[in-house]
Structure 1
Amino acid sequence: MVAITDKQNALEKATPEQKDKQLWRDLVAFWILGLCNNFGYVVMLSAAHDIIARFDETTEVSDPKAEVLERQCNIVSTGAILLADVIPGFVVKLVMPFLPFWINTRVASAVALSVAGFLCVGFAEVEMVALLGVVCTSAACGMGESSILPYTSNYNRNSLSTWSSGTGGAGVIGALAYAGLCAINVSSRNIMLIMLIFPVLECIAFWIILRKPSGLVDNSVPSVTSVVEDDKPLQGWKEQLMYITSLFKYMLPLLFVYFFEYFINQGLFELVNFENTFLDKESQYRWLCVDYQIGVFISRSSVNLIKFKHIWILSLLQFINVAYFLTEVIFFYTPSIWIAFAIVLWEGLLGGGAYVNTFYRMSSEVPRSRQEFAIAVTVQADSLGIMLSGFLAMPVHNAICRLPAHPKLFS
């Protein structure tokens, strides 16, 4: 009798996670969904240098009268791929919050666009087809993020952190897979065909592993804002648009972090060149992408251990990284590639930390009835920052390519 009473008391004191024996299904499903949703996006950015090189000539700038470092630049920077990989997704994110939330239709559309993207890039014979594939991948990622991330509000709060961890995992696995397959001389077509396993995995995660959301919301953590604010759902476009201004405190810091971050990745990474090292120029770009994604994965998976509220500080730190890389690609003063790898890892930690902490804050500060809309709007901020960085990256890239090449400050 005492044992039964103790068991009942233990059950009453148990957390929602302990009571829900099937919670693992949702957490695993959202991790896989985050992985699959961002995987194509990451692969396209990792392949950006190679996609451009397939259809473009390389220019060389040199000064025969001086001992200089020869600059080798693609005529079009990887910022062009960045724009093709961001603008369609950004447009999709702008529209999605105001459309009916038909989650099954949205996920099916995202999967179809992802498949089309891999096939177009893999079988492209001309640049426009390759760019069309990147556009399809971008739209798939934007549709998935603006649908599945808000959908986490119907589940246990930790679903948001596992989604974020999965998107970070996509960075590491995507960049590492592309760099590794290139290293063993797998053709670009075969690489893209191999990547088709991820849209299939996304279908399995969403329609088989993930449970239906009814009754699964974790209400053990009350919404802070709902205590002092009317928690009624937003009605109509006018009310939704008026509500967006209250989300600027989440959106603006995230925008600046990603603006600085992707200006580095797609405007300056391509120009980083360390001679007399174990990696050639193309491999340096690929492995810097891998290194960056490792940092993103670590920070996007850390929100249950480290929570950070003041995202604007992360944007200032990211600006310092811009200053370093901008001066490095002009003067080549860093003595070792390992220093660059360390700074790139730090850059990834800042970006991933800004992403996961922004949405984790929203899960407790935004009324639950408004979270789907609020999160769907806020995800536009990182895409807008990335898009603006792409527009800036191309002229800056071309301006640096036209500069007289300089000797390294360290020989």
Structure 2
Amino acid sequence: MSVEPHSTAALHTEGVFVIPSIAGKKRLSLKLGFSFFLFGLINNVLYVIILSAALDLVPPSTPKGIIAFCNITPALIAKLGWPYFLKGRIRYAQRIVGCCTLSFIGMLVVAFHESLYSRLLGICLASFSSGLGEMTFLQLSTTYSRSVGGRSVGYFASGTGAAGIVGAFMWWELRGLGVSTGVGISAVLPFILPLAYFFLLPRPAAFMHQSSSASYTLVPADDLETEIDDDMSAQDDVESRQPKVTVSLSAADKWRLVKPMLLKYMLPLFCVYTFEYTINQGVAPTLLYPVPSHGLISRIIHSVRDYYPLWQLVYQTTVFFSRSSISLGLKTLPAHLLPAPAIIQFVILLLLVFESAVGLLPEDHQGGSIFLVFVLISIEGICGGLAYVNVFYRINQEQPDPASAHNPEITKQEREFKIGSIGFADSSGILLASILAVPTEIELCRAQVARGKYLCRGL
């Protein structure tokens, strides 16, 4: 068997495998973590840039919720199509190259077409790529052992959280260059995905039979063959040397796997994202105050249009820290607390709607109102990040169904399907929120105008 040195750090020479030293194992772990972090970062950063640029991509009279709608519907279609309707093994290399190409084309369309409908089309292309990419990288984590796969999910989630900060900061800096230049620069980012996959990511075989010795250990190749076949079946190099596998999950098999996850995982994730994105796209654009003339906030806010990207930045920063909780070594949420973030999100939604419509504090307490919104949006981000990383981590760590334990190929496909199918829950929540956000923003603006606050009309 041939193993690429750059991707496995394990050599196969004259019938033996050379298992890496302790230092080699640390390098493997670092490469694995950095690879999945990059996957999460780059896959999601364009999505965040588009949301952060919502005010610049559409005319003032167009509700920003339509950006969220076009930014999530194609992703939802991708997450519905691939795990539920496609069968057999996943071709990870082809998927990742395809996602890169589609994202690049989509962002170029947004950058170089001023027509609203053309920009929405470009957003749809990038969205489809992002949805397919997120599902693909989460499924890729299941091709590793559970301990390694769990770390992979943690690093991927951390990368998706970092995408929020990087995307918001990037657009904060790039928006001064205009939509064409700013979005055009960001269009090159997806090329990092295939580079990381082919040249940085260690393959599952690199983590097999790792020696605790500080020196290299020689292991007979015959002893490793069976286990390496199990862990690398999703990789292209394995597919080229193994007989074709015709077994695949049926529709009945998939329904059997989905049923127990509906209430346990999907409903909490759906609710969290519904409330979260209703806040971000429907309420946050109306959380506006006069431009401050003194204090720290006056150095950040120079016009009323700065409030919306500021709220996005606050939200994305707290999402990053909460999605990084597992990779930072913090404990996961107990299973019975998975619905808690959704409940807290709902309370925050009600408070922010009330603040926008009538004000939680008197009009002469503008500084206090800004601080209150800052705190509430921070808690919103923490809840959203915790829900995301804990749900996907728990699915990755679930034990296989005893009924299929005798068939390693079916077990592999079941793990890939389960973690891939969950993405439908968060995407459908975002889709519902994007629909709710349009009338929410309009009605909140009307309520503000009715009490003599006209700032939302100036965007």
- Where does residue 168 of structure 2 map in the other structure? 175
Q: Quick one: structure 1 residues 90 and 16, their matched pair in 2 at CA, closer, same or farther if it must change by over 3 Å?
A: farther
- Residue 275 of structure 1 aligns with which residue? 290
Aligned: 1:102 with 2:102: no
* Structure 2 Cα separation of the partners of residues 258 and 308 of structure 1: 18
Residues 25 and 273 of structure 1: is their aligned pair in 2 closer, same or farther, counting only changes over 3 Å? Answer: same
2-side partners of 1:159 and 1:272: how far apart? 37
1:340 aligns with 2:373: yes
1:243 counterpart residue number? 257
Tell me what 2:6 maps to.
none
AA partner of residue 48 (structure 1): A
Q: Which moved more, 1:395-404 or 1:162-171?
A: 395-404
Query: Of the candidates 287, 299, 316, which is equivalent to residue 293 of structure 1?
Result: 316
Q: Offset at 1:346?
A: 1.2
- Deviates most, 155-164 or 253-262: 155-164
Residues 35 and 166, structure 1, Cα contact 8 Å, conserved in 2: yes
Aligned residue for 2:205, secondary structure, equals coil
In 2, Cα distance between the equivalents of 1:209 and 1:19? 14
Show the counterpart of 1:222. Answer: none
Displacement after TM superposition at 1:276 (Å): 3.5
**Which one of the candidate residues 124, 128, 131 is aligned to 1:135?**
124
For normalisation by structure 2, the TM-score amounts to 0.74
Name 1:25's counterpart in structure 2: 31
- CA–CA distance in structure 2, aligned partners of residues 159 and 218 of structure 1: 18
Aligned partners of 2:270 and 2:254: how far apart in 1?
20
The answer (yes or no) to whether the contact 1:234–1:240 under 8 Å persists in 2 is no
> Which amino acid in the other structure matches residue 44 of structure 1?
I
**1:217-263 Cα distance to aligned partner (Å, 9 max, x none):** 799xxxxxxxxxxxxx9731221123211111111101100100000
Letter aligned with residue 198 of structure 2: W
Q: Deviations over 1:97-146 (max 9, x none)?
A: 13241111111111111101211111112101110111011101101011
Q: Measure the CA separation in 2 of the matches of 1:388 and 1:366.
A: 32
Contact 2:104 2:188 in 1 (8 A): no
Q: How does 1:75-94 map to 2 (within 5 A)?
A: 75-94=61-80
Q: 1:391 to 1:186 in 2, by over 3 A?
A: same
Compared CA separation, residues 287 and 217, structure 1 to 2 (3 A)? farther
5 Å-filtered alignment, 1:210-249, equals 210-214=201-205, 216=207, 235-248=249-262, 249=264
CA offset digits 1:54-75 (Å, max 9, x no partner): xxxxxxxxxxxxxxxxxxxx43
Partner of 1:195: 186
Matched, 1:374 2:418: yes
Check whether the contact 2:315–2:378 (CA below 8 A) recurs between aligned residues: yes
Of 310, 314, 325, which residue of structure 2 is paired with 1:302? 325
CA contact (8 A) 1:16 1:218 kept: no
CA-CA distance at 1:21 after TM superposition: 4.2
Check the 8 A contact 1:179/1:287 in 2, yes or no. Answer: no
- Shift of residue 18 of structure 1? 8.0
CA distance in 2, matches of 1:26, 1:38: 18
Give secondary structure in 2 for the equivalent of 1:27: helix
- Matched with 1:60 is none
Q: Which residue of 1 aligns with 2:241?
A: none
Q: What does residue 120 of structure 1 align with?
A: 109
Q: For the residues of structure 2 that align with 1:218 and 1:258, how far apart are their CA atoms?
A: 40
1:204 to 178, 190, 195: 195
Contact 2:265–2:391 (Cα < 8 Å) also in 1: yes
- The residue number in structure 1 matching 2:437 is 393
Instruction: Give the aligned residue type for 1:383.
Output: S
One-letter identity of the residue aligned with 1:236 = S
Distance 1:205 1:344 in 2: 33
**More moved, 394-403 vs 372-381:** 394-403
Aligned residues: 361
Percent identity of equivalent pairs: 31
| SS of residue in 2 equivalent to 1:139 | helix
Conserved? CA contact 1:149–1:375, under 8 Å = yes
Report the AA paired with residue 150 of structure 1: Q
- How far has the Cα of 1:213 moved from its partner? 2.8
* Cα pair 1:331 1:407 within 8 Å, conserved: no
Aligned to 2:295: none
TM-align CA RMSD = 2.3
Secondary structure (helix, strand or coil) at the match of 2:419 reads: helix
- 1:252 corresponds, among 262, 267, 285, to 267
Question: Whole-Å Cα distance in 1 between the matches of residues 126 and 342 of structure 2?
Answer: 27
Cα 1:154/1:395, change in 2 over 3 Å: same
Aligned to 2:356: 329
Q: Counterpart of 2:259 in 1: which secondary structure?
A: helix
- Provide the rounded CA distance (Å) in 1 between the counterparts of 2:37 and 2:317: 16
Measure how far apart 1:306 and its partner are.
Answer: 3.2
CA distance in 2, matches of 1:31, 1:259: 25
CA contact (8 A) 1:154 1:217 kept: no
Distance 1:33 1:84 in 2: 22
CA change 1:257–1:15 in 2 (3 A) is farther
Deviations 1:310-336 (A, max 9, x none): 121110000011001111111134432
Contact 1:75–1:398 (Cα < 8 Å) also in 2: no
Contact 2:283 2:444 in 1 (8 A): no
